[in-house]
Amino acid sequence: MPRLLFVCVENANRSQMAEGFARFHGGYQVEAISAGSRPVGRISPRAIEAMAELGIDISTQACRSLDEVSGEFDAVVTMGCGDACPGIRARVREDWPVKDTAGRSDAFYLDVRNDIRRRVQTLLANLRSHR
């Protein structure tokens, strides 16, 4: 079972959506979590609403710090935030140039959500083909 970690600074928007998509598209065959270098302690209501539009509930996901993450991962993905996650071991490391959603329009926000969905689907397909 692939173990995935998605990281953005606040662990409130982008990484939470990526975790939700990985759980949704990977089902029981994937373990996905998200974390942040400076987590704000809550998931953005905007992220919850944007994912709910697609039938994905992320409202019960945890908002956590990178300090709370341990173990080895099949993939660690940072979201264009420069977080290196040096103490976390991973077979695959990717930095996705996903734009920050703070203060952006609804259309921009949904474009970012859809971009994350495509990237997660590609990551899952690549991990499956290398097993």
E strands of the chain, at which residues?
Answer: 3-8, 31-36, 72-78, 89-95
Distance between CA 114 and CA 27 in Å, rounded? 19
Determine whether 81 is an active site residue: yes
Catalytic residue among 4, 5, 8, 48: 8
User: CB within 8 A of 43, min separation 6: which ones?
Assistant: 12, 16, 58, 59, 61, 63
* Percent helix, percent strand, percent coil in the chain, to nearest 5: 40, 20, 40
Determine whether 85 is an active site residue: yes
Distance between CA 121 and CA 96 in Å, rounded? 13
Helix (H, G, I), strand (E, B) or coil at 89: strand
Catalytic residue among 35, 81, 98, 127: 81
Determine whether 63 is an active site residue: no
Catalytic residue among 51, 77, 85, 116: 85
What are the residue numbers of the active site?
8, 81, 85
